[in-house]
Structure 1
Amino acid sequence: MATIKDVAREANVSIATVSRVLNNDETLLVMEETRERILTIAKKLNYTPNRRKKSKSTNTRDATAAATIGILMWATKEDETNDPFFMSIREGIEKQCAELQVEIAKIVRLKTNIEYDLNDLDAVIVIGRIDPAEVESVFADSSRIVYVNDSPDPLQYDSVIVDLEEATANVLKYFTSLGHNRIGFIAGQEYIQKFRTKEVFHEESRLKAYERYMKDNGLYNQNDLYIGDWTTVSSYELMKEAIRKGDLPTAFFIASDSMAIGAIRALHEGGKSVPGDVAVISVNDIELAAFMTPPLTTVKIYSEQIGRTAVNLLIEKLHGRDIPLKVVVPTKLIVRGSCGGAAN
């Protein structure tokens, strides 16, 4: 019987590419000729994705080689383009699966999929903050779910997260060490996503940490807080609003690099220099950050490693681990020109 590895070998592509083509992943950038070649070879080899019943096998080689997993995420293709953070996590999952010869049988994007059932899979990785009750309505085995960028219940589910509260506190400490006492904050609204009903508001961890630090140090000013959505355009408009108010803070902590791009554009258009008039630090360290004008100081999140770690946790579960694990991936402040500090 043909395997996904056989199809990949004959098509001269990766296992991840075969899986994404066969599952009609719209985010995959591949030539039409390559797509057609994969489909033709899969048909010629009579390849059918494995949909075996889930077992509790402890045989490491068998459990890994035969495993089929799904990715459940809220982000659309456009969302990933606007904020590469989630794209990098997904790519980390795909790379690790390819290396371990684990098949990604389904990638479900909740904004574009209405009906879905994942119970024919061995395990599921959930990217983003999605209501666990909703997830278990489409994949019943909660012991084989790993949450990424969220930890809804560490006593029940595996999860891989970043301590954004600690990262935020470190950014604010760094700003104050540079002499800034007026520090503004720009972020998006955070929600717990649901499938068929309205999402539920969730307090964003960076906002929580910002308010706590500023209040504890007698620096909090409600007027320096700006909340919109997680887009470059939203941050651009929020910074324009701050400029119109006058009396700008001397520094801004911005919750993502993509948002920082919009905010810095607004500052430049408003005749404000960065970091001369306003210092800026953000989060993620996307590839573009180092090439901005000025280069962007940012908290590096190892997003690809987050995705790889999620796969490793799933494989451990398939091999019989019963105790849920919560992995906290560290961050690092990358100092560049936008904050006025000495570059790393």
Structure 2
Amino acid sequence: MERAGAATIEEVAARAGVSRSTVSRVLGGGDRVSPQALEAVRHAIAELNYVPNRAARSLASRQTHAVALVVPEDTTRFFGDPFFAAIVTGINARLSRSDHVLNLFIASDDPGDKATSYLTAGNVDGALVVSHHTSDTFVERINQSVPVVFGGRSPRGREDDYYVDVDNVEGGRIATRHLVERGHRRIATIAGPLDMPAGVDRLRGFREVLADAGLAPGPVEDGDFTADGGAAAMRRVLAAGDRPDALFVASDLMARGAIGVLQERGLRVPDDVAIVGFDDSPVATSLPPRLTTVRQPSRDQGEAMTEVLLARLAGLDPPHATILQTELLIRDTA
């Protein structure tokens, strides 16, 4: 016998022979559902003693007309990285055409579940999550309680999660391919954090191109997507010996930090070391030399994330995965 409240929405969908989104539409009032599917879902709910969570109840009853942006980072990184400004601009652009307002939560951790308790207590209709790490377990608790759309692949990589990402693997490929085509053979990388999907995917693209070219990768050092992290990683690359003649750096901020270290050592960019960054944020062109970089459409990503979340809140069935394309912008550093 099923324990009351133990069933999940996925189990209800499996028992009824319908999709998860169909169950969500039934919980939201039964609109746009065939009579046969409606009856099957109701029978499955009764058989499994299913109790809808807060996310389903919010669809079936009232909405707060508020959505949360959850950023599992500290405030220094949030206000210091232009990526977040672009994401928020896109989110606001889409919300301005809706009845929803935005609540911002910056939390590198959630001691005492303060933010989690607020977000899962019916105070918001859904949440957008960006810059998440695999260690951010509180994000998964939010994901289980309210509709969530991730900016980037979700921490657990579940098939039923919703996310909007850029093609980070291809971005790493086009950056590294450009360096290979320019004749560089000792190519190192300063990768992003490897507990984040973006860091893992950009490194994968880098390695794939070097393998295809028959080249051994130079030093691989992890950074933290900050200028200081890029500078520290650049020092480790140089300390490894056999100085590379080119670098793929997984963010523009880290690239700026790396360039500063190279200049301190009397090395010229790109004559001694060529560099390709990633983002095309304002720091790419704020100082000479202007950075050759991979452009990711961060504003578009924010807008697309919001579009998917609003569709979910309306009881629609948007794509689980939306992938945006990157492009190489050639300037002065490679």
The 5 Å alignment of 1:73-112 reads 73-104=71-102, 106-111=103-108
Provide the secondary structure at the position in 2 that maps to 1:272: coil
TM-score, length-normalised on structure 1? 0.71
Q: Which residue of 1 aligns with 2:308?
A: 313
Go from structure 1 to structure 2 and tell me whether the alpha carbon gap of 1:255 and 1:130 turns closer, same or farther (over 3 Å shift).
Answer: closer
Residues 272 and 94 from structure 1, CA distance in 2 versus in 1: closer, same or farther, beyond 3 angstroms? same
Letter in 2 for 1:205: D
* 1:294 paired residue number: 289
Structure 1 CA distance for aligned equivalents of residues 231 and 241 of structure 2: 16
| CA–CA separation in structure 2 for the residues paired with 1:80 and 1:141 | 25
Contact 1:95 1:308 in 2 (8 A): yes
Q: 1:15: which partner in 2?
A: none
**Cα distance between partner residues in 2 of 1:284 and 1:139:** 27
Q: CA deviation at 1:133?
A: 6.1
1:186 to 186, 190, 203: 190
Is this contact kept in 2: 1:165–1:209, CA < 8 A? yes
Aligned match of 1:198: none
Identify the residue that residue 263 of structure 1 maps to in structure 2.
258
Q: Does 1:303 align with 2:303?
A: no
**Equivalent in the alignment of 1:167:** 171
Aligned mate of 2:207, from 204, 211, 216: 211
Query: Structure 1 residues 231-240 or 201-210, which shifts more?
Result: 201-210
SS of structure 1 residue aligned to 2:58: coil
Separation in 2, partners of 1:263, 1:280: 9
CA contact (8 A) 1:129 1:150 kept: no
Partner of 1:123: 126
Contact 1:128/1:150 (8 A) holds in 2: no
Report the Cα distance in structure 2 between the residues aligned to 1:263 and 1:335, rounded to whole angstroms.
18
Give distance in 1, aligned partners of 2:60 and 2:157.
Answer: 23
CA deviation profile, 1:56-86 (whole Å, cap 9, x unmatched): 48xxxx97xx622112211222112332213
**SS of equivalent to 2:204:** helix
Query: Hey, what's the Cα distance between the residues in 1 that align with 2:230 and 2:133?
Result: 24
State the match for 1:47 in structure 2: none
Q: Unpaired segments of 5 or more residues in structure 1?
A: 1-52, 193-200, 340-344
Counterpart of 2:132 in structure 1: which amino acid?
R
* 1-structure distance, mates of 2:100, 2:186: 50
CA contact (8 A) 1:82 1:258 kept: no
Q: Could you say what the CA RMSD is over the residues aligned between the two structures, in angstroms?
A: 2.7
Q: C-alpha separation between the residues in 1 aligned to 2:99 and 2:248?
A: 41
Change (3 A) 1:245 1:136: closer
Secondary structure, aligned partner of 2:132: coil
Paired residues, what number?
271
Deviation at 1:329, TM superposition (A): 1.1
C-alpha offsets along residues 209-229 of structure 1, whole Å, 9 cap, x if unaligned? 2223223322124x5222243
Percent sequence identity over aligned pairs: 27
Matched, 1:158 2:158: no
Q: Relative to 1, partners in 2 of residues 1:274 and 1:322: Cα closer, same or farther, differing over 3 Å? A: same
Change in Cα spacing, 1:55 to 1:227, as seen in structure 2 (3 Å) is: closer
Moved over 4 A (4+): 130-133
| Runs of 5+ consecutive residues of structure 2 not aligned to the other structure | 1-56
State TM-score, norm by structure 2: 0.73
Give 1:136 deviation, angstroms: 4.5
Q: Which amino acid letter does the alignment assign opposite residue 162 of structure 1? A: V
Shift of 1:107: 2.0
Displacement of 1:111 after TM fit?
2.3
Q: Secondary structure at the match of 1:291?
A: coil
Following the alignment from structure 2 to structure 1, what is the Cα–Cα distance between the partners of residues 141 and 244? Answer: 46
Distance (Å, rounded) in 1 between the aligned partners of 2:170 and 2:184: 19
